[in-house]
Structure 1
Amino acid sequence: MVHAQISKGKRNFIFSLLFLGWLVDSLTLFGMNVAIIPISKELHLSQTQSGMVISSFWLSSACMTLLAGWISDKFGSRKVIVIAVFIISLFSLLTGMAGSFLTILAIRFILGLGDGGLPTGSGVAITEIYKREVRARAKSFLFAGQLIGGVLALYAAGLIADTWGWRVMFYIVGGIGLIVTLLLFKYYNPPKVVNTTKDGDSLPKIPMKDLYRSKLLWTIVIMYFCSSVVHWGFSSWLPSYLEQTRGLNLKTVGSLAMIPQAFGLLAALLTGYLIDKSLAGKEKIIILIGAVISGLCLFLMFKAPSIQVAIAYQSIFSIGDSAIAMAIITIPLKYVSQNITGSFMGTMYFAGGLAGFIAPTTMGALIDAFNGSFQAAFFFLIGSLVIVFIGALVFRLPKNNTNIIASNDSDVSV
């Protein structure tokens, strides 16, 4: 695989535009987790309906990831990313205009189509922009962009919604997103990559049937699905948990909910750096430790005697959660053949999108079923972490950390 020769400054500028796109997406995503509180009150939604509003986004996102992966592999990342950010921005703006349960459900469903294209296209973009040796760090910065957006969204959403109403929040995010879309359209031009073996021959395309026969692929997909259930289930319901169980107002909810996000951000950056350096090939260990830490803190958080102790456990949980996500996400970037990165990650993100669809609705239904208690919902998340732990136990990288699935093991970055 040969990258086009462009300057380091040009590569970093292109990556910065990609980072802005992720920031907009996360503002929309995490902003809804706070906005759903006043939306539910205004539109008279049940807990189950509130979960459906959050989950509708993930259903369409999951469906789009597979298509986006194929398009990105075939045509490159540019078209997928520009269109994805445009859809996210436009329908974030339209979210502020919704006046009924069905309307907001439909808008969030369409918005999810954009979200489904962005992560998959970005996975291909990283392989276009950077060599293998630094891809974990690059991915950690994108993941950090999502978490930074989460921190900003949780604080700003609570503040704006409390001051001017939840609709204004979506108008602001959508407007910013449309500006970012214009910047991407004009300046986002990733370098061309030629896929070849070390002998200079064209790298043959791997049939999709061979991709889906891989046991390692399905092990990774199952781990990513269950870890996504935990991540999106927790982040979707944390603001509501703080407001309903701990009796906090909307502004305080946003301020406190961003603290665990900040710890997750730091953990993501550190994990990405370590995977590129001293922990390359040891992703399994990171996942195992992260699953234990996250599961234990979820249990302790629910039993915490005070809000201060609960936030402390939430913050430690976020460290483990981010470490798991980074370890799983970087596996295909470092160990999967270049010409199927999009399809592989599309399959992963499809599973993650399904998890995002299932988790909030399931948790909402469990909360309704247990008369407002979050206990069963938290045990649902802990059970998912147990599966992640088991998946990590059976996961094995190929010897010498060669490609997991490749038509030619000599596929290397030069």
Structure 2
Amino acid sequence: MSGNALKGNTRIGKKRWTIILPAVFIMYTISFFDRVNIGMALPHITAEMRLSPVEAGWLGGAFAWGYVATQFTAGWLALRFGSRRIIGVSLFLFGACAMLTGLTRNFGELVAIRFLLGLAEGPIQAATAMFLAQWFMKPERGRAFGIWNLSLGAGAFLAGPISGWILAHHNWRMMMVIEGAPAWLFCIIWFYLVPKSIQAASWLSAEERDHIQKDLAAEQSNYVKEKSDPWWTILKIPALWLMLIGYSLHSMLAYGFTLWLPTALKGYGTLSEFMVGLISGMPFLMTMVGIWYITRRSDKYNQERRLHAAIPTVLCGIALSAAAFVPLSYYWVQIALFMFVGLTMKMLVPLVYVRLTEILPTKKAVPAVAFVGACSNFIGQFGGPLVAGYLKHLGGGADMTLAWGVLGLFSIVGGVLFALAVGREESIWNIRQAFQVSSHRAISTRE
């Protein structure tokens, strides 16, 4: 696309940015609440059910088992039934499971319902990636995916103080019920607000609808072997495996940090319940700033994704490793490092999925997003909390030094692997695109 056409994209279909993206943002914010509030509830659940650190880690792991089971099939489901429908059904199901969490009576029931919650949420990530790729053109997709992923920080930030306020007045069970109910309400809004397709969007002019569809069709026409080459040939792409492993290692930091941060803050012994919730949410407020910055910068700098994802991932690991060795008497320094971890922690996420939709045709990109997302989220959600809990146990049950240090190392290695994930026509040492503003020429990484 020419530079003039690109400039025109900001005027074409402007209502997509005020209708489609807010709907996606709110939907994903709601879905992220129940991934974070379990961390706020964890100290209370542990005390009530007398769980060990390893058992507590299993609560994060149980969600991952369910999540990966349906995320592997998310690509097929989205292609078969449509991404809009899959997202709406998932909203209803995970809202029900989130509320049922508050009714569990023992550890076994809690693990089971967390597994079902993961099943309900599994298809959302790949379905949302496909949904946005069908509404936004390539030169604007980095910003669109970035705004979507701002919800990761918004959900995590809001879940902290809101959960802390509810816990200060009620208990963890009531918190789960209250924070699960909005999913049912927004399920109705989702089907009412979001059109079935671009052609069904009456708030776009016929000219806008045709322009967007022609642009998306032209993008797909650039790919070769789309009809004869089956989707599973994505498994032959070395870059995909490097991205998957790198993303998985970083996800262990992200999910381990998210689950255990409130417990670490309570370990200071000086913070109220509300302050624990507020400070637990602040790194994720920084996450929103980080995602906003990196996706806009990535679009501006040659639509470069690889190094824009890799460098922050390495810095995130360095920050958490450094926080591990800060004495508790200087806990304010550790909290400052936690803020930097939050700033860089999710910069990788939107760029992973943008890159996959740009280097693969849709019929392969959607399964690739599902495959990479399923594997990395499973490893992160299951391995991160469990490894952190085990390392906490090795440290005497009260010290997070070993856990933070190891999770930080995982992220450093993950960032390096992502930097090595180059396409056939790319070079590992081609770094100028990430640091030099030029024309809006797409990176040539097609298979």
TM-score for the superposition, normalised by structure 1: 0.90
CA contact (8 A) 2:245 2:417 kept: yes
The 5 Å alignment of 1:213-228 reads 213-228=236-251
C-alpha distance in 2 between matches for 1:167 and 1:85:
20
- The match for 2:334 is 310
1:374 paired to 2:396: no
- Give 1:319's aligned amino acid: L
C-alpha distance in 1 between matches for 2:16 and 2:286:
30
1:156-184 deviation per Cα after TM superposition (whole angstroms, max 9, x unaligned): 11111121111221111221111011112
How has the CA–CA distance of structure 1 residues 199 and 104 changed in structure 2, closer, same or farther, with 3 Å as cutoff?
A: closer
1:233-252 deviation per Cα after TM superposition (whole angstroms, max 9, x unaligned): 11111111111255533222
- The match for 2:313 is 291
1:156 paired to 2:158: no
1:114-166 deviation per Cα after TM superposition (whole angstroms, max 9, x unaligned): 22111110000111111111111111111111210110101111111121111
C-alpha distance in 1 between matches for 2:257 and 2:223:
47
Report the Cα offset of residue 403 of structure 1: 4.8
1:252-276 deviation per Cα after TM superposition (whole angstroms, max 9, x unaligned): 2111111211111101011111111
1:91 paired to 2:133: no
C-alpha distance in 1 between matches for 2:446 and 2:276:
43
- Give 1:35's aligned amino acid: A
Aligned length: 401
Report the Cα offset of residue 199 of structure 1: 9.0
- Give 2:185's aligned amino acid: I
1:185-235 deviation per Cα after TM superposition (whole angstroms, max 9, x unaligned): 333334256856549999526413311111111111111111111111111
Unpaired runs of 5+ residues, structure 2, are 1-11, 199-212, 426-441
C-alpha distance in 2 between matches for 1:11 and 1:320:
25
Of residues 285, 293, 313, the one that matches 1:262 is: 285
Unpaired runs of 5+ residues, structure 1, are 1-5, 406-414
CA contact (8 A) 1:155 1:255 kept: yes
Of residues 300, 303, 306, the one that matches 1:277 is: 300
CA contact (8 A) 1:157 1:254 kept: yes
CA contact (8 A) 1:120 1:342 kept: yes
1:356 paired to 2:389: no
TM-score for the superposition, normalised by structure 2: 0.84
CA contact (8 A) 1:216 1:404 kept: no
- The match for 1:300 is 322
C-alpha distance in 2 between matches for 1:347 and 1:151:
28
- The match for 1:410 is none
Q: Which region of structure 1 is more displaced relative to structure 2, 362-371 or 88-97?
A: 362-371
CA contact (8 A) 1:95 1:104 kept: yes
C-alpha distance in 2 between matches for 1:73 and 1:312:
43
Partner-residue secondary structure (3-state), 2:73: helix
CA contact (8 A) 1:73 1:341 kept: no
Of residues 383, 392, 396, the one that matches 2:422 is: 396
1:385 paired to 2:427: no
Report the Cα offset of residue 343 of structure 1: 0.3
C-alpha distance in 2 between matches for 1:294 and 1:256:
18
How has the CA–CA distance of structure 1 residues 200 and 97 changed in structure 2, closer, same or farther, with 3 Å as cutoff?
A: closer
- The match for 2:344 is 320
Q: Which region of structure 1 is more displaced relative to structure 2, 378-387 or 119-128?
A: 378-387
- The match for 1:335 is 359
Root-mean-square deviation over aligned CA pairs: 2.5
CA contact (8 A) 2:313 2:344 kept: yes
Report the Cα offset of residue 302 of structure 1: 2.1
C-alpha distance in 2 between matches for 1:334 and 1:10:
20
C-alpha distance in 2 between matches for 1:374 and 1:165:
26
1:175 paired to 2:181: yes
- Give 2:421's aligned amino acid: F
How has the CA–CA distance of structure 1 residues 73 and 360 changed in structure 2, closer, same or farther, with 3 Å as cutoff?
A: same
How has the CA–CA distance of structure 1 residues 358 and 387 changed in structure 2, closer, same or farther, with 3 Å as cutoff?
A: same
Identity of aligned residues (%): 20
CA contact (8 A) 1:291 1:385 kept: yes
1:29 paired to 2:54: no
The 5 Å alignment of 1:114-153 reads 114-153=120-159
